[in-house]
Amino acid sequence: MAIVVNGQVVGDDALNAEFSNIKGYYESLGNVSCCERDPEFRGYARDNVVARVLLAQEAQRALPPTPDAEVEAALDKLKDEHGGEERFLMMIGATRDQLDLVRRDLEADLRVRRLVESLAASDPPPPESEIRRYYAANIEIYRTAEEVRASHILKASRGEQRHAAYDQLRDLRRQLQAGADFESLAKQHSDKGDEHVDLGFFKRGELAEEFEVVAFSLDVGEISPVFATPFGYHLIKLTDRKPAAPRPFEEVRDAVLDQMLAERRQEKTRELVKELQARATIEEVEEPVAT
């Protein structure tokens, strides 16, 4: 079902794309099983799309066009971020012949950003005491990531070598549990060079997930079981751990202030959308109408 917002048609394709994004987000959190929340997500999608259309219409009415140079700079940045013009166009499903349409949409997006940024531009900055209170209330956001340090032995596992590699690592693990030196055995038997025995400190998300699951589950000094990743079979010895800890206020003050100002803009944007909705004519139509 299409929606008409102040005479502007929003087709099923936009609503379905927003619905898919919302459902995909909740699925990534593990909060969705099949389709039981689809009506809820479709409601979110409708609200989000209508809000974006209203903001775009208000930006079009209230602000002058974004300068061409600024639009081109933003377009060039997008191309660079996606690895070049061809990959960028492929990502958004467009062709070179449609670049003018891309520029038009980008200009509209930039105008909306200016509108949103202007909503709180004249507000005085929050006092230092308020910034500190926000920091204390949201301290979990400003914690360092937990890090561990590990040494490892890798044996490649290809074809007929798989069983031999696994059995060899099992034997090395028995030697290590009997008191053998990990570094010495690693230098003798690992398929990686000496420089890859000690992996140094790493956070979650920096190495293969299978490797990190094991590494972060170990105590310092503990030897892992033999386990597999796409790279082969591994043995890990955890050598150090840095627990997550709050970062000092002075170190993150600017980030705290930026987050506070972003939330202030979001609240003012919600208020503006409510005002625009109260004045808007929003209709649902069974059949798409010509734009």
Q: Is residue 109 part of a domain?
A: yes
Question: Is residue 238 situated within a structural domain?
Answer: yes
Question: Do 25 and 106 share a domain, yes or no?
Answer: yes
DSSP bridge pairs for 143: 246
Identify whether residues 168 and 108 lie together within a single domain.
no
Average pLDDT over the chain, rounded to whole?
Answer: 92
pLDDT at 162: 84
Element (H, E) at 227: strand 227-229
Number of domains in the chain: 2
Check if the beta carbon of residue 253 is closer than 8 Å to that of residue 138. no
User: Span 118-136, mean pLDDT?
Assistant: 94
pTM confidence score: 0.70
- Comparing 270 with 29, which gets the higher pLDDT? 270
Whether 109 and 43 map to the same domain: the answer is yes
How does pLDDT run across 235-245, given as a tens digit for each residue? Answer: 999 999 999 99
Domain assignment present for 130: no
* β-strand pairing of 232-242 with 198-203: unpaired
Residues 103 and 27 occupy one common structural domain:
yes
Residue 165 sits in the same domain as residue 60: no
Same domain? 154 vs 232: yes
CA distance 276 to 52: 11
6 shares its domain with 98: yes
Residue 37 sits in which domain range?
2-124+264-285
Confidence band, pLDDT 50/70/90 cuts, at residue 148: very high
CATH number at residue 167: 3.10.50.40
Q: What CATH number should be reported for the domain holding residue 97? A: 1.10.4030.10
pLDDT tens sequence across 35-92? 888 999 999 999 999 999 999 999 999 999 999 999 999 999 999 999 999 999 999 9
The reply to whether 169 and 69 lie within a common domain is no
250 within domain boundaries = no
Residue 157 has pLDDT above 80, yes or no: no
Does 18 lie in the same domain as 119? Answer: yes
Categorize the per-residue pLDDT at 161 as very low, low, confident or very high, splitting at 50, 70 and 90: confident
Place of tokens 């066009």: 65
Query: What sign results for the dihedral spanned by CA atoms 188, 192, 196, 202?
Result: negative
Vertex 290 angle, CA 89 and 57, to 5°: 70
62 within a domain of the structure (yes/no): yes
Pair 109, 78: CB distance under 8 Å? no
Residues 9 and 49: beta-carbon distance below 8 Å: no
Which band of pLDDT confidence, cut at 50, 70 and 90, is reported for residue 290?
Answer: low
- Asked, for residue 161, whether it belongs to a domain, the answer is yes
pLDDT at 8: 93
- Structural domain contains residue 249: no
Reported as a pLDDT band with limits 50, 70 and 90, residue 291 is very low
Are residues 19 and 49 both part of a single domain?
yes
The answer on 155 and 50 residing in a single domain is: no
In a domain, 131, yes or no: no
Angle between helices 85-92 and 68-81 (to 10 degrees): 90
Are 8 and 102 part of one and the same domain?
yes
In terms of Cβ atoms closer than 10 Å to its own Cβ (0-12, 13-18, 19+), residue 153 is buried
